[in-house]
Amino acid sequence: MDGSAEQQRNWGPFGRPIYDHPEAQALSRVGVIDIGSNSVRLVIFDGAARSPAYFFNEKVMCGLGAGMGETGRLNPEGRQRALAAVRRFVTLAEGMGIPTLTAAATAAVRNAEDGPSFCEEIEQSTGLVVYVVSGEEEARLSAQGVLLGWPGAAGLACDIGGSSMELALLDGTGVGPCASTSLGPLRLKTIKGGRKARRAEIDQVLARLTAEIPKHKRLYLVGGSWRAIAKLDMHRRGYPLAVLHDYHMTPAQARKTLDWLKGKDFEVLRREAGLSAARIALVPIAGEVLRRLMKAFGTREIWISAYGIREGMLYEQMSEMIRARDPLIEACHFNEAQSARMPGFGNTLYEFVSPLFRRTRDERRRLIRAACLLHDVSWRAHPDYRGEICFDNATRSNLGGIDHPGRVFVGLALLHRYRNAEPSGHLLEMVERLPEKDRHQAAVLGKAMRFGAMFSANNPDHMGRLDYRSKKRQLRLILPRAAADLYGEVAEARFMSLAAALECETEVRLAGD
């Protein structure tokens, strides 16, 4: 195979990892300040990969929109706290050498009588020009944030802030119709007449929305109040994974959690679930909106997105070439390049183990490739804990394009890559959520990576190949003569362990024999 063909096989039609491309390098260290109705946040993305890491992430709960429904103006205390937060963020970014920050303000500043003067005060104080996002634009940017994590997503993206709620249709190819509403919990709590009046307001707005936005069974939830409800659902269910992104709920589960909250001590609950007092205080009203929203749009499945308007702004700056890449694979390539002892060997290892998974569907092959790319990124960890650290990294890291069962599959494969033992302790609860056949396949993959890594010290392009014949229960290793000495006692033991997992007879021969 010539060099160009091999590049295409390993990297797709682009011929190289996206983080090496000038267009991707231009997105490195992108800083965004999001001035929301409830919080002000600075995020600095390490944007050199398609699935960006968070180089810096800090939030201040300011409550800019608190009481605005009654006064029409920004909350005075919140305004001062927000200004102080922006000053801090600008100073931090300057100290880090970050290029010009992008600052965006949403519903509170957009709708407040004194919103323009607040933006002027920020510019005079810091030199930062604040871009006030329109309602429909906010809906589009939030939906683009969903696309950052779920390329080709189809469903309704719903972003709830303190003073507004946005909805956008994702049709599998991009963002469709968008709409902005005033159904933010900070605003709804100022409506006179209590729950009955709020319900009437919510239903009236949703009736208009259903005429503008097509219904869809899938709902992607964006925003702090939705994430708080998801955290509480995790807490109620005793869910073992801590990652919110790609967390799945059914409408029945969501309603059960909202019912479960009634009568609970919120101070105790917020500490147990790891929520702020300001965030959990908005959950009951956000829950009222969610109940009516699910009913109005015929929701059948709910997915939580950790990505929103800030990520949507990063997505906005990406070319179509970058957007087209797989966020999971690109992130794993980037991690390998930064942390592995032999960057690039992950692709060789994937080719080596692939004969064991010829009949595997494409989605699973993505996870197998991801595991191979990550197989060596934790080598600096103590050998006694390396497997557990690999598992924790896979199940907790910021990764897009992978669901929770996928995280556990990759984590379990990496665990078996580093130790020839079954998971135990806190890992077992997560692993038991995988079907038995997936657990077995992850173990086979881990043992195959463990064996294949024995040849990484040699020229990886001449490490030999596996020939697996499942019907005949036969596993063969064909080695080039130059690599014969690498097949020592430890390598043989690992090969036999792999064969035992596959319940196969083995054969080892040299190429040409």
Nearest in space to 273 (alpha carbons), one of 247, 311, 314, 237: 237
Residue 309 to residue 66: CA distance in whole angstroms: 21
Equal CATH topology for 24-132 and 326-460: no
How far, in Å, are 129, 159, 183, 210 from residue 291 at the CA level?
38, 15, 13, 15
- Please report, for the chain, how many H helices and E strands are present, in that order: 24, 14
Q: Which residues pair with 469 in a beta bridge?
A: 474
pLDDT of 424 reads: 80
Q: Where are the domains of the chain?
A: 24-132, 136-311, 326-460
Helices 251-260 and 224-237, axial angle in degrees (round to 10): 80
CATH classification number, 136-311, choose in 3.30.70.270, 3.30.420.150, 3.30.70.3000, 3.40.640.10: 3.30.420.150
pLDDT of 319 reads: 84
Fold of 326-460: Hypothetical protein af1432 (1.10.3210)
pLDDT of 421 reads: 75
Residue 374 to residue 432: CA distance in whole angstroms: 22
Asked whether 319 and 23 are in contact (CB, 8 A), the reply is yes
pLDDT of 1 reads: 42
pLDDT of 5 reads: 45
| pLDDT tens readout for residues 444-492 | 999 999 999 988 765 666 678 999 999 999 999 999 888 888 888 999 9
Low-confidence stretches of the chain (pLDDT < 50) are 1-16, 18
| pLDDT tens readout for residues 107-164 | 999 999 999 999 999 999 999 999 999 999 999 999 999 999 998 899 999 999 988 9
β-strands 505-510, 474-479: how paired? parallel
CATH 3.20.20.80 fits 24-132, yes or no: no
